[in-house]
Amino acid sequence: MKPKIKVQIVSEEGESFFGIGVAELLHHVDETGSLNSACQKMHLSYSKGWKIVNRAEKQLGHQFIERSSGGKNGGGSLLTEDGRRFLEQYDEYNKKVQEAAKKLYQTSFLFS
């Protein structure tokens, strides 16, 4: 059995507001330049995607996505500098936690 560790950031009230799903959504926004396209890739409604991003932004006090309205040339969404930096930090933190958890699991649970 291989353990699966989920790294989530939780508010003082116990509400999860940032984890692998939010990170994946932000990565897709970065790749596509569109929250709508990112939501489609993840099979999320556009309104659900906005709720997810807005909740994380509110809890962390930083804007992650720079929004531009639609119109003749269409709108778009880009990661802000804060958003990109936080996403990179989360990815690195998640990687380190996964590595440490795997090692700890291997040394803590010995099966014959």
pTM metric for this prediction: 0.86
More reliable by pLDDT, 105 or 44: 44
Residue 112: band (very low, low, confident or very high) from pLDDT cuts 50, 70, 90 = very low
pLDDT in tens, 50-89: 999 999 999 999 999 998 876 556 678 999 999 999 999 9
pLDDT in tens, 7-50: 999 999 999 999 999 999 999 999 999 999 999 999 999 999 99
Provide the pairing of β-strand 76-79 with 9-10.
Answer: unpaired
Which CATH number is associated with domain 9-101?
Answer: 1.10.10.10
CB < 8 Å & 24+ apart, contacts of 4-7:
5/97, 5/98, 5/101, 7/90, 7/93, 7/94, 7/97, 7/98
